[in-house]
Structure 1
Amino acid sequence: MRGTLLKLALAGALALSMTAPGLARHWNSGDTAALITGLAIGGIAASAASHDHYYQDQYIPPPPVYRSAAPFSPARGIICYPRQLACYANDGSFAPKWTNRVF
């Protein structure tokens, strides 16, 4: 990161030094803000391009595909729905133990 910022600073200084003397003007606070903003955006872009994204290594596979999408009952009073990957009791309440056990 330090090398990238140094390169950006040198590029900015080189660009400023290559201006024609007739185009030279006084430096004001707007120029300073633009330079700092440009360096910050360039640093962020260089940092994002150079770092590996950690979340690519933490791949979570999708749930298994069930051949039958029809609801089934693994026990009396419990109905499981494969498309929802959830089980419910006959009264309509969610059954977390059966959901974890089946899916």
Structure 2
Amino acid sequence: MLTRIVRMTFQPEKVADFLAIFRDSENKIRNMPGCQHLELWQDADMPNVYCTHSHWNSADDLNNYRRSALFGQVWPTTKALFAAPPLAFSVYPAGPDSTSTPRPTS
């Protein structure tokens, strides 16, 4: 399983626009092949900062979503509302209780 976190800082006056976009698309994203989980988090100290937290069966499933028509609609309209560049990263479970195989390091 791959976990994807995307941290987004919005123009304060554009937060309501973002929330409308997210609410309109969240179930469509959840229904994308390979998406196991999607939720939205709001920063505890900065109310115009949000993170999406999603779980995908594989990196291929995430990349297929990122190449989809849905992403092509959602991301450009969301990106137009940013006050700063987003921070996105993908992670796999690690540690002794992890069911994933360790990834090679360079």
Higher helix share: 1
TM range (shorter): under 0.3
TM-score, normalised with respect to structure 1: 0.27
Higher strand share: 2
TM-score, normalised with respect to structure 2: 0.26
Where relative contact order (Cα < 8 A, 6+ residues apart) is larger, the structure is 2
Structure of larger gyration radius: 1
